[in-house]
């Protein structure tokens, strides 16, 4: 088979990026229902991030797309093709593993060329393609090295090159940056985004790191307990979280939550009392509710001048901001203040934030009540 | 060319598959299933049939054995317990009257040598895994040379061996002190370990005649002690090798934190290290036990009547004026196999967990 | 280091004594031995003298086939030495080691050329090498095959694992007798089969080649489990990621085995074969029980040879044979270790 046949039309490759959809996917491991009725449509050339805590079913979902696991019900479609029952090798999908899964006994060049070798591409064409792919990840110099002689970042690049060398219809990536140190991770993140943009290949990316999700994704799909919680652009998910889980998962430090009750138009908790709009008042079943606000929306002010008073527990300078932790009743809340801000521990202060930036969630279902604060 | 292009899969959603291609990952294709299960069944038959034949033969009357093959009890022949009854019949006519004593010998020799071997070997392995030994190459060479000299003196010169040992020891100490500053090359733990393992290359037959003469000169021939000592030494390299790997695999942090908590080296070994190496210890014990239980050559040389072990007894049943009494022979083989199989079933989950693998990876 | 001292006493010391025995003539007297130094006479007797037929085999004029074999071996070895000398990692020690290996291999090639390929029988050295080379190869191939089969997704895996492991625990003596019963062409379980193919009164133990094959079957029955268990563990130890990456990269099952799994287990396989080869050189119980070394000396291994000499109270000949066995074993095993095992580890480690 010729290289052209494998790559089916050389760049610009985005012309042949395929849409990817998952319909009604269910997967059990024994009695454990790990993926529950998952429906996702990925547009051609889109970068979709599957985000969630460990054990939420995101990796299983990815492996089902790759064909490494078989769903108990539901289907996987690549373009117009139903690939649910197709072996991974016929799916035209490339995958980057968390461990990179480089073949330790093969050189970098042999690793990158492996997908072409097994497709019996002629050696000359193969070499050219390997060189091309290696150049794309800046690894041309190290083609004769073995994986064990490479640094973590270089291994990562080899894994990427092995994925792009055959120009697949879709990329799958399983936490590819999690084994790198923080600095390198930031750099590779930018590079990954650039490369995906350039190749224009449909990409599904699994991570538990919300920063990666925010920065990389065109759209983020957030999963918990095998259930898709919300799917949307990073901004949408950040500004309009569908429920308490999504709200708490996006953002760093996470959103502050205060548990309390809603009755006769007010949200009441220990030391907190806020007015609630009419639709918020009626939507919360049984009155139990959770109020939330983001640390970056709030500020610390003099006692009595804010929405509620609180006691300073600790103040930490993180570099660009000072993170102040305050206690209100049983709850511990964090507020981002300018880096010049300083405050005595155990002193009494007040917390203030624009009320329309507050969120209200039903304590039972966790669903967000739209427009609860105005 | 089995590669179907993804385009071929378009439309109907199915891919043309070969007979030997599975429909999904983690499953076998119909053809693969056929091949795999036939291989498994054929090999199971190859493994089990000899054992089956031994078992049924032990229940056969002489007539059923001598009249040609009989395969299925109650169909081809009437099973009988006569051979088994002989086992407990101590009258001289019974072909198995002499069985229980070697059996006891085997139990004693195998269990004591295994115990000793695992004890000494695991301590040596632990020492090699955790402490640095740097003996000087020259000192060892000197020791060996003096040993050779002693042996020549005793063997050819006819000097009393007690005098030779004393003189040799004194000479060694003196020379070692005097020459030690000229010895530069040191050997490390790795060399010691490799040397130990290389002892397995030594065919037992090379050493057994001198060992025979050695035990003869101290009048220990044909005793349990001689066999126990010999088996211990022969199996020591295996224990050291396997256990070294296990000890090396235990994170040293654990031991260091225990030592910081005030435990002595010995306490650390018994309280922390041994429990962690339990799986390896179990597998090693089983292996050594099987080896010494089944050992033949050394026992052949070193035991005659008193300390005779089971393999020797079985081998000796070969022949006799009545020909081989297959039924009795099978009884003896079965009672030899049963304890080992029981032990192995007990320990099999340790063994199958790739216990030997780590050591082999080296 | 009690262990080191114990091994020293029980290995170095006997080795020295053994050497002395091999270099002298012993005679049993009442209450002791008489030991007289005779130099290399014992070895001469084995290699060139009256025991030559027993140890090396019966020599005849080397046939054309024999010359061809010898010439091929010589050419291969010279080419091997040449490429080593031309290579860029030449060391004195490496050169000496390779010279020793090459000369021993050439000697063995000549031995087979002058016996096997010239139509006569070889002696115990040839028999031992036959057991080692043929036996170990067969065992490796079958052991690897079974391990591969058992690593597939199958039902009842633990059942097969236990069953396949069983033979390793059966005493070799028992195996010897068991196989003698099975091989009995008149009363054994397969006698109807033998009658069917017209071999009703054929006795395995009376034909040299049949007897050797017969012993290798028994040896394999016992030792394949050993190779199987370790290779299976090695196969299951191959990181699952690598295999899955292979699937996604588009490799077929066979390509995954050849390109990914096999290179991963090669170091283990090389070491396991080293252990097996070492043990195979010591083979003695099966030929002793199954054929008593017969017909003639056709199945007599070197250990058995030494044992027979000892039983005849000829301690010196016994020690001489043992030493020759030690020499062959050490040179071949060390060569194998240095040239194959270490290199595999360096490449794949």
A3-244: CATH number: 3.40.50.300
Contact C270, C202 (CB under 8 A): no
Short-list B190, B236, B197, B215, CA closest to B302: B215
Q: Looking at the DSSP assignment, which residues form a beta bridge with residue A312? A: A326
Is residue B154 domain-shared with residue B269, that is, in the same domain? no
Residue B27, min C-alpha distance to chain A (Å): 11
Is residue C243 domain-shared with residue C279, that is, in the same domain? yes
Is residue C146 domain-shared with residue C132, that is, in the same domain? yes
- C177 sits in the region (left: phi over 0; alpha: psi -120 to 50; else beta) called alpha
**For residue A198, is pLDDT > 50?**
yes
Residues in CB range of C261: below 8 A, 6 or more apart: C235, C238, C242, C243
Domain with CATH 2.40.50.140 in chain A: 254-369
Which candidate from B6, B23, B25 shows the least CB-CB separation from A81?
Answer: B6
How does residue C34 score in pLDDT terms, banded at 50, 70 and 90?
A: low
Q: Which of A325-329, B96-100, C153-157 has the highest mean pLDDT?
A: A325-329
Q: Which domain holds residue B168?
A: 135-186
Cβ distance C15 to B362 less than 8 Å, yes or no, reads no
Is residue C230 domain-shared with residue C308, that is, in the same domain? yes
Q: What is the pLDDT of residues C186-201, one digit of tens each?
A: 777 877 777 777 766 6
Is residue B220 domain-shared with residue B341, that is, in the same domain? yes
Measured between CA atoms, the residue of chain B closest to residue C323 is: B206
Domains contained in chain C, number: 2
Decide which of C75, C94, C120 is a domain's last residue: C120
Q: What is the pLDDT of residues C246-299, one digit of tens each?
A: 999 988 888 999 999 998 888 888 888 888 888 888 888 888 888 887 787 888
pLDDT value at residue C141? 95
**ipTM value:** 0.82
pLDDT value at residue C83? 85
Is residue C96 domain-shared with residue C159, that is, in the same domain? no
In a domain, C85, yes or no: yes
Which candidate from B28, B68, B356 shows the least CB-CB separation from C153?
Answer: B28
Taking all residues of chain A, what is their mean pLDDT, rounded to a whole number? 88
Is residue C103 domain-shared with residue C169, that is, in the same domain? no
Is residue C112 domain-shared with residue C224, that is, in the same domain? no
In a domain, B92, yes or no: no
Among A240-249, A299-308, A314-323, B185-194, which stretch is predicted with the lowest mean pLDDT? B185-194
Among A165-169, A206-210, A365-369, B59-63, which stretch is predicted with the lowest mean pLDDT? B59-63
Residue B81, min C-alpha distance to chain C (Å): 20
pLDDT value at residue A39? 93
**For residue C349, is pLDDT > 60?**
no
Short-list C214, C148, C254, CA closest to B40: C148
Domain CATH for C127: 1.10.3720.10
B7 against C67, higher pLDDT: C67
Residue of B11, B15, B24 best to disrupt the A interface, most CBs of A under 10 A: B24
Environment class of C245 (CB within 10 Å of its CB; exposed 0-12, middle 13-18, buried 19+): buried
pLDDT value at residue A298? 93
Mean pLDDT to the nearest integer, A313-327: 91
Query: What is the distance between the alpha carbons of residues C306 and C293, in angstroms, rounded to a whole number?
Result: 12
Which candidate from C170, C229, C315 shows the least CB-CB separation from B337?
Answer: C170
Cβ distance A91 to B25 less than 8 Å, yes or no, reads no
In a domain, B91, yes or no: no
pLDDT value at residue C47? 78
In a domain, C37, yes or no: no
In a domain, C21, yes or no: no
Whether residue B2 lies within 8 A of chain A, CB to CB, comes out as no
Among A262-266, B274-278, C94-98, which stretch is predicted with the lowest mean pLDDT? B274-278
Is residue C196 domain-shared with residue C145, that is, in the same domain? yes
The dihedral formed by the CA atoms of C232, C235, C239 and C242, expressed in degrees to the nearest 10 = -160
Q: Looking at the DSSP assignment, which residues form a beta bridge with residue A365? A: none
Decide which of C85, C102, C120 is a domain's last residue: C120
Contact C248, A95 (CB under 8 A): yes
Domains contained in chain B, number: 3
Environment class of C209 (CB within 10 Å of its CB; exposed 0-12, middle 13-18, buried 19+): exposed
Interface of A with C (CB under 8 A): 66-68, 87-90, 93-95, 97-99, 101, 103-106, 114-115, 117-119, 162, 166, 172
Is residue B288 domain-shared with residue B328, that is, in the same domain? yes
DSSP B278-342: HHHHHHHHHHHHHHHHH--HHHHHH-SSTT--HHHHHHHTS--TT---HHHHHHHHHHHHHHHHH
pLDDT value at residue B359? 54
pLDDT value at residue B7? 39
- Ranges of chain B whose pLDDT falls below 50: 1-16, 362
pTM of this structure: 0.83
In a domain, B3, yes or no: no
Query: What is the distance between the alpha carbons of residues C165 and C162, in angstroms, rounded to a whole number?
Result: 5
Residue B126, min C-alpha distance to chain A (Å): 30
Is residue B129 domain-shared with residue B259, that is, in the same domain? yes
Among B15-29, B261-275, C122-136, C301-315, which stretch is predicted with the lowest mean pLDDT? B15-29
Contact A247, A361 (CB under 8 A): yes
Q: Which residues of A touch C347 (CB under 8 A)?
A: 105
Domain CATH for B224: 1.10.3720.10
Query: In chain B, which among 148-167 make CB contacts under 8 A with chain C?
Result: 148, 151-152, 155-156
Cα A224 to the center of its chain, rounded Å = 12
**For residue C74, is pLDDT > 50?**
yes
Distance, first Cα to last Cα, chain C? 31
- Looking at chain C, which subunits does it touch, using at least 3 CB pairs closer than 8 Å as the criterion? A, B
Q: Is A230 helix (H, G, I), strand (E, B) or coil?
A: strand
Structure tokens at B45: 């038959």
Domain with CATH 3.40.50.300 in chain A: 3-244
Cβ distance A67 to C249 less than 8 Å, yes or no, reads no
**Cis status, amide bond into A253, omega within 30 of 0:** yes
Main-chain dihedrals φ then ψ at residue A324, nearest 5 degrees: -105, 125
How does residue A130 score in pLDDT terms, banded at 50, 70 and 90?
A: very high
**For residue C30, is pLDDT > 80?**
no
**For residue A3, is pLDDT > 90?**
no
Whether residue C23 lies within 8 A of chain B, CB to CB, comes out as no
Decide which of B152, B186, B220 is a domain's last residue: B186
pLDDT value at residue A41? 93
| β-bridge pairing A272-275 and A266-269 | antiparallel
In a domain, C26, yes or no: no
Decide which of C79, C99, C120 is a domain's last residue: C120
Measured between CA atoms, the residue of chain C closest to residue A105 is: C348
Structure tokens at B201: 């290359």
Q: What is the pLDDT of residues A100-126, one digit of tens each?
A: 999 988 999 999 999 999 988 899 999
Q: What is the pLDDT of residues C196-239, one digit of tens each?
A: 777 666 777 778 888 888 899 999 999 999 899 888 888 888 88
Q: Which residues of A touch C241 (CB under 8 A)?
A: 97-99, 101
Which candidate from A68, A89, A106 shows the least CB-CB separation from C250?
Answer: A89
Is residue B262 domain-shared with residue B277, that is, in the same domain? yes
Main-chain dihedrals φ then ψ at residue C238, nearest 5 degrees: -65, 125
Short-list B16, B12, B30, B51, CA closest to B336: B51
Q: Which domain holds residue C341?
A: 121-348
Is residue C323 domain-shared with residue C191, that is, in the same domain? yes
pLDDT value at residue B284? 85
Taking all residues of chain C, what is their mean pLDDT, rounded to a whole number? 82
Environment class of A262 (CB within 10 Å of its CB; exposed 0-12, middle 13-18, buried 19+): buried
pLDDT value at residue C268? 84
Whether residue C239 lies within 8 A of chain A, CB to CB, comes out as yes
CATH class of this structure's domain A254-369: mainly beta
Is residue B256 domain-shared with residue B357, that is, in the same domain? yes
């Amino acid at each position: 088979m010729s290289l052209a046949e494998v790559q089916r039309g050389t760049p610009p490759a985005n012309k042949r990026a395929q849409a990817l959809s998952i319909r009604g996917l269910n997967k059990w491991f024994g009695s454990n229902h790990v993926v529950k009725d998952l429906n996702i449509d990925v547009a051609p050339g889109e970068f979709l991030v599957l985000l969630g805590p460990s054990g939420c079913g995101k990796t299983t979902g990815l492996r089902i797309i790759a064909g490494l696991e078989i769903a108990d019900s539901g289907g996987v479609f690549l373009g117009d093709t139903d690939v649910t029952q197709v072996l991974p090798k016929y799916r035209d999908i490339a995958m980057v593993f968390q461990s990179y899964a480089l073949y330790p006994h093969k050189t970098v060049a042999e690793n990158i060329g492996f997908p072409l070798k097994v497709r019996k591409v002629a050696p000359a064409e193969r070499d050219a393609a390997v060189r091309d792919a290696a150049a794309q990840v800046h690894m041309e110099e190290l083609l004769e090295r073995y994986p064990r002689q490479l640094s973590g970042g270089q291994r990562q690049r080899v894994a990427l090159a092995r994925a792009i060398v055959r120009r697949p219809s879709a990329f799958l990536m399983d936490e590819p940056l999690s084994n790198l140190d923080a600095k390198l991770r930031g750099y590779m993140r930018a590079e990954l985004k650039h490369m995906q943009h350039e190749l224009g290949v449909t990409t599904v990316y699994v991570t538990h790191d919300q920063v990666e999700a925010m920065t990389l994704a065109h759209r983020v799909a957030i999963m918990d307990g095998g259930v898709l919680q919300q799917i949307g652009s990073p901004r949408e998910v950040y500004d309009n979280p569908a429920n308490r889980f999504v709200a708490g998962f996006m953002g760093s430090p996470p959103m502050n939550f205060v548990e309390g009750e809603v009755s006769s138009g007010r949200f009441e908790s220990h030391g907190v009392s806020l007015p609630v709009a009419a639709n918020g008042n009626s939507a919360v079943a049984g009155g139990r509710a959770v109020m939330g606000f983001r640390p970056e929306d709030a500020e610390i002010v003099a006692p009595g001048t804010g929405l509620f008073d609180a006691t300073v527990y600790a103040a930490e300078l993180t570099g660009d901001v000072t993170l102040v932790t305050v206690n209100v009743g049983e709850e511990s809340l964090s507020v981002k203040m300018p880096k010049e801000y300083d405050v005595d521990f155990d002193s009494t202060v007040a917390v203030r934030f624009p009320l329309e930036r507050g969120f209200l969630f039903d304590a039972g279902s966790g669903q967000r009540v739209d427009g609860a604060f105005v | 060319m089995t590669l179907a292009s993804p385009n071929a899969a378009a439309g109907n959603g199915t891919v043309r598959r070969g007979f030997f291609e599975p429909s999904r990952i983690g499953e076998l294709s119909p053809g693969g299933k056929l091949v795999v299960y036939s291989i498994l069944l054929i090999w199971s038959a190859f493994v089990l049939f000899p054992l089956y034949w031994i078992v049924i033969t032990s229940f056969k009357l002489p007539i059923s054995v001598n009249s040609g093959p009989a395969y299925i009890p109650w169909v081809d022949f009437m099973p009988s317990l006569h051979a088994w009854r002989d086992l407990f019949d101590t009258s001289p006519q019974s072909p198995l009257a002499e069985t229980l004593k070697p059996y006891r010998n085997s139990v004693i020799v195998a269990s004591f040598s295994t115990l000793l071997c695992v004890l000494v070997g695991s301590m040596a392995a632990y020492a090699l895994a955790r402490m640095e030994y740097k003996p000087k190459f020259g000192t060892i060479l000197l020791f060996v040379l003096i040993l050779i000299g002693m042996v020549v003196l005793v063997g050819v010169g006819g000097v009393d061996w007690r005098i030779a040992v004393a003189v040799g020891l004194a000479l060694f100490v003196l020379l070692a002190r005097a020459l030690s500053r000229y010895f530069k090359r040191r050997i490390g733990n790795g060399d010691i370990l490799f040397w130990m393992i290389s002892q397995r290359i030594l065919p037992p037959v090379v050493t057994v005649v001198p060992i025979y003469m050695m035990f003869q000169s101290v009048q220990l021939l044909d005793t349990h002690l001689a066999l126990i000592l010999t088996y211990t030494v022969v199996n020591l390299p295996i224990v050291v090798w396997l256990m070294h790997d296990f000890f090396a695999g235990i994170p040293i942090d654990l031991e260091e934190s225990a030592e910081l908590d005030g435990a002595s080296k010995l306490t650390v070994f018994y309280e922390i290290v041994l429990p962690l190496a339990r799986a390896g210890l179990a597998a090693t014990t089983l292996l050594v036990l099987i080896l010494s239980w089944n050992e033949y050559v050394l026992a052949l040389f070193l035991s005659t009547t008193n300390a005779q072990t089971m393999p020797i007894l079985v081998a000796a049943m070969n022949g006799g004026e009545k020909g081989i009494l297959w039924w009795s022979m099978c009884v003896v083989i079965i009672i030899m196999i049963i304890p080992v199989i029981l032990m192995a079933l007990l320990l099999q989950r340790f063994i199958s967990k790739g216990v030997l693998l780590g050591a082999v990876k080296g | 280091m009690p262990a080191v001292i114990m091994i020293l006493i029980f290995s170095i010391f006997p080795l020295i004594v053994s050497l002395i025995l091999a270099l002298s003539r012993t005679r049993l007297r009442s209450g002791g031995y008489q030991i007289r130094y005779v130099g290399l006479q014992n070895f001469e007797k084995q290699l060139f003298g009256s025991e030559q037929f027993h140890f090396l085999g019966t020599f005849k004029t080397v046939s054309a086939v024999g010359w061809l074999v010898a010439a091929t071996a010589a050419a291969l070895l010279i080419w091997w030495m040449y490429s080593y000398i031309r290579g860029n990692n030449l060391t004195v020690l490496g050169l000496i080691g390779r010279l020793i290996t090459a000369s021993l291999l050439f000697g063995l090639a000549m031995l087979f050329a002058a016996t096997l390929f010239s139509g006569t029988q070889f002696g115990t050295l040839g028999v031992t090498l036959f057991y080692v080379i043929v036996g170990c190869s067969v065992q490796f191939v079958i052991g690897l095959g079974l391990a591969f089969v058992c690593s597939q997704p199958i039902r009842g895996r633990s059942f097969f694992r236990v069953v396949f492991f069983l033979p390793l625990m059966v005493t070799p003596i028992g195996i010897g007798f068991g196989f003698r019963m099975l091989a009995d062409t008149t009363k054994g379980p397969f006698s109807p089969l033998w009658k069917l193919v017209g071999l009703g009164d054929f006795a395995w133990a009376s034909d040299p080649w049949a007897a050797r094959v017969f012993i290798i079957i028994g040896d394999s029955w016992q030792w394949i489990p050993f190779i199987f268990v370790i290779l299976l563990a090695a196969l299951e130890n191959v990181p699952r990621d690598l295999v899955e990456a292979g699937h996604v990269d588009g490799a077929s099952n066979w390509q995954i085995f050849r390109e990914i799994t096999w290179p991963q287990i090669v170091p283990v396989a090389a070491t396991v074969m080293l252990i097996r080869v070492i043990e195979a050189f010591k083979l003695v119980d099966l030929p002793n029980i199954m054929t008593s070394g017969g017909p003639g000396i056709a199945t007599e291994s070197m250990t058995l040879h030494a044992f027979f000499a000892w039983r005849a109270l000829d301690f010196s000949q016994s020690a001489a044979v043992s030493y020759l066995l030690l020499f062959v074993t050490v040179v071949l095993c060390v060569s194998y270790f240095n040239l194959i095992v270490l290199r595999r580890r360096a490449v794949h480690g």
